[in-house]
Structure 1
Amino acid sequence: MKRTVILLVCGLAFLSCTRPKPAALPETKTQNANGGRHEAASEGNAVELTPEAQQRAGVTVTPAAVIPMTQYLQVTGSVQPVDSSVAHVRPLARGRLQEVLVKAGDRVASGQVLAQLDTIEAGELAAQYNSALSELQRFKIQMAAQQRQVERNRRLVEIGAAPQKDYEFSLAEEQALEEKIRGQESAVSGLSARLRRFGINQAEGNPSPVTAIRAPFSGVIIRTSAAHGEVVDPGAELFSLADLSSVYVQAQVYEKDLGRVRAGQPASITLDSYPGEHFPSRVVSISDLVDPQTRSAAVRCQVSNSDGRLKLDMLAMIRFPTSTKRAALSVPADAVQTIEGKSVVFVRGSPYRFSIRPVEAGLTSEGRTEILRGLNEGEPVVSKGAFALKSVLLVRKLGEKE
């Protein structure tokens, strides 16, 4: 919608500066330098602009030229998660899943609860913790009573109302209780640490055997095998979580082309989902194993994906620049426009007139696009301002339809 509005605004602005339409030109056919044939533009496929309008639109004309262009190795790959960014979430103990809160494809935050697990071991630990805590409290009560007894015997001994041995005996019992309390506190601390491994906070009182299984980091659930009511063992994988802020695009490169790829080499990624966009990447690994069936090896390129637009298993095209250059007919990349799904350029036929020329575009490299068919060397092509001419043409066609 935004692009359509821009086209309308640009088109209306420049239509006011176009020259009156001359009589329609007859259609002719000419031979181009690449062996193909192209048709001369008809009146409906031409745009006329005054010099003033061309200046405002920033129209610049550059001849199509044959120049050396970097050759690219082009292979098809797919988007995959980075191995070190995938976590396999498993329970710590055997139990029954009371609730599953996420599904494959969900985005989760670090620490978010994925499932609730009723664990037998956690229940037993909770019971042991409660028992140990009660025993510790009992020892502390006994200690308080024993301390009063020690103080009473000390006073009786001082006034000669009790033998010294009674005081010494009560003091020994106090020391024994102190040891029992220290031992019990250690047991409670150990059980508390084991409960924390299950995500149970004993400070809340009466810890429940139901534990929360949480996400270790933020990411996307890429696989789940957890079902409500299912009994699971400690080794069972419940969820696979991937951090997709950075992903691999992996491709199989034929053995004969492996010498043209090296680790650390830059590469350009394109996807059908985002036409015209290039995602910069870098080769991070080249497999040491060649598939004996396909005679190819896996090559991985790492791509930043902070906006999450690259989805797992999307097909992508990887272009590796090589040291080889080849002379090819090319034009500035901005000269190539897309109209009705076809690549076109605007060729200047006179100081005022620009005709649409359908072309077959090849690879784009270093700001220039290779032209495979539809154009001759030296023909004057609009290299800047082509979008403005396209806007005028589309607005005029829209007006003719109405």
Structure 2
Amino acid sequence: MSLPVRRRLLLKLALVPFGLLLTQVAFSQSAPSVIGTRAEMTTWSDPLEALGTLSADESVTLSTTVTEIVSEINFQDGEQVDEGQLLIRLEDAEEQAQLRASQALREERRNASNRATQLQDRNLAARADVEDSQSRLRQAEADIQAIEAQLANYQIEAPFSGRVGFRNISVGALVTPGTDLVTLDKLDVMKLDFSVPEVFLGRLAPGLMLNATTAAFPDDIFSGEIATIGTRVDPVTRSINVRAELDNSDGRLRPGMLMEVVVQQHVRDTIVIPEAAIEPSGDRHFVMLIEQSDGTTRLARREVAIGERRNGEVEILEGLAADELIVVHGLQLARDGQEARLIGITDDEKGIRELLEADR
């Protein structure tokens, strides 16, 4: 074989891979593989984040106003008690004896008053004697009421339904006024107190929904709503206090917990798409629509106006309607007007990774 012929053959063989590469590039440019997703109409809000502390809906530390010995304890640590339930009784034998003496005196004076009234009806007693006997009867009744009021101090009852704390006293212990006997907390509803900068005051209102999380239950979100907004702005921190209420019917939350709060302000229904579907160009933003007709899948570039962003999602203000199909994966090779191969559409069960693995 002559040298020129051999050179031409080698040149042709060298051009074969290059030609195959050009063919592959041309094919990839003409029909890129893409994954689509649908624009969703969903409820959206501008989150306002803060840190808050929990407190019980009602909370009290029970104590006594007298000095006496504990004679009876009717609760266990952490027990749920009802309003009016007797929790602690103090020794009251002396006061009970005084009550019985006063009751006997009242009965005696009542009888005397009745006799005086009967005699006066028959004109055998002066009216002044009747009035004196009735006055002494009223005095005896007042003495009984005073003793009964004193006896109430010897019985510690639950002022509301709730859960008691640890019992730190025993029967026979001597307690004095102001001694902490037991704590009582109403935990079915929790108060969540937090502060926000005053610039957000105009966006807050009672009834505004919020979500809260705590390190104790990292996988759970607790929902609630703003109940009260403070009446004063702190002149030092320029913040205002806000109180929300959280349902705690399962009893998992405890007073003193630190919670991360996200207030859902400016709640609205809007179009939302994955942030990965946005193609920025300067200060403009585009999406690549997937149009399907007569068995053909074609791409169309469209400009959109975006709003807020959060957690890999973006709000669409203009340019896109609900349920329109757009490219979420494969934008690098996608061109306006091209035909494309649609690998699949993401949903709640299948993401981009699952669709790519299924396409292998």
Query: How high is the TM-score relative to the length of structure 2?
Result: 0.53
- The amino acid that maps onto 2:53 is S
> Are 2:89 and 1:116 equivalent residues in the alignment?
yes
Q: CA deviation at 1:306?
A: 3.2
Maintained 8 Å contact 1:198/1:212: no
For the residue of structure 1 that corresponds to 2:91, the secondary structure is strand
Maintained 8 Å contact 1:67/1:329: no
- The amino acid that maps onto 1:362 is N
- The amino acid that maps onto 2:70 is L
What corresponds to 1:130 in structure 2? Answer: 100
Maintained 8 Å contact 1:78/1:313: yes
Structure 2 CA distance, aligned partners of 1:277 and 1:271?
A: 8
Q: CA deviation at 1:263?
A: 3.2
Q: Greater helix percent: which structure?
A: 1
Residue number among 241, 260, 275 corresponding to 1:298 in the alignment: 241
Structure 1 CA distance, aligned partners of 2:205 and 2:141?
A: 51
What corresponds to 1:183 in structure 2? Answer: 135
> Are 2:164 and 1:231 equivalent residues in the alignment?
no
Structure 2 CA distance, aligned partners of 1:139 and 1:278?
A: 64
Maintained 8 Å contact 1:94/1:232: yes
Residue number among 180, 185, 194 corresponding to 1:242 in the alignment: 185
Specify whether residues 362 and 213 from structure 1 end up closer, same or farther in structure 2 by C-alpha distance, changes over 3 A only.
same
- The amino acid that maps onto 2:234 is V
Maintained 8 Å contact 1:66/1:330: no
For the residue of structure 2 that corresponds to 1:244, the secondary structure is strand
What corresponds to 1:217 in structure 2? Answer: 160
Q: CA deviation at 1:384?
A: 3.9
For the residue of structure 2 that corresponds to 1:288, the secondary structure is strand
Give the alignment of 1:63-142 within 5 angstroms.
63=37, 70-82=45-57, 85-102=58-75, 105-118=78-91, 123-124=94-95, 126-138=96-108
Q: How many correspondences in the alignment? A: 256
Structure 1 CA distance, aligned partners of 2:349 and 2:47?
A: 28
- The amino acid that maps onto 1:107 is Q
Identity %: 18
Q: CA deviation at 1:380?
A: 4.7
For the residue of structure 1 that corresponds to 2:137, the secondary structure is helix
What corresponds to 2:311 in structure 1? Answer: 362
Q: CA deviation at 1:136?
A: 4.3
Q: CA deviation at 1:296?
A: 5.0
Deviations 1:114-150 (A, max 9, x none): 211225xx835x44433333344555677899999x7
Structure 1 CA distance, aligned partners of 2:223 and 2:330?
A: 31
Structure 2 unpaired stretches of 5+: 1-34, 276-309, 316-327, 332-342, 355-360
What corresponds to 2:255 in structure 1? Answer: 312
Structure 2 CA distance, aligned partners of 1:195 and 1:242?
A: 30
Specify whether residues 363 and 302 from structure 1 end up closer, same or farther in structure 2 by C-alpha distance, changes over 3 A only.
farther
> Are 2:225 and 1:281 equivalent residues in the alignment?
yes
Structure 1 CA distance, aligned partners of 2:181 and 2:201?
A: 42
Structure 2 CA distance, aligned partners of 1:287 and 1:224?
A: 38
For the residue of structure 2 that corresponds to 1:217, the secondary structure is coil
Structure number with greater Rg is 2
- The amino acid that maps onto 2:94 is G
Q: More displaced, 243-252 or 108-117?
A: 243-252
Structure 2 CA distance, aligned partners of 1:237 and 1:312?
A: 18
Query: How high is the TM-score relative to the length of structure 1?
Result: 0.48
What corresponds to 2:209 in structure 1? Answer: 266
Structure 2 CA distance, aligned partners of 1:365 and 1:221?
A: 48
Give the alignment of 1:2-41 within 5 angstroms.
none
Maintained 8 Å contact 1:78/1:251: yes
Specify whether residues 283 and 181 from structure 1 end up closer, same or farther in structure 2 by C-alpha distance, changes over 3 A only.
closer
Deviations 1:228-248 (A, max 9, x none): 513312x55544433222211
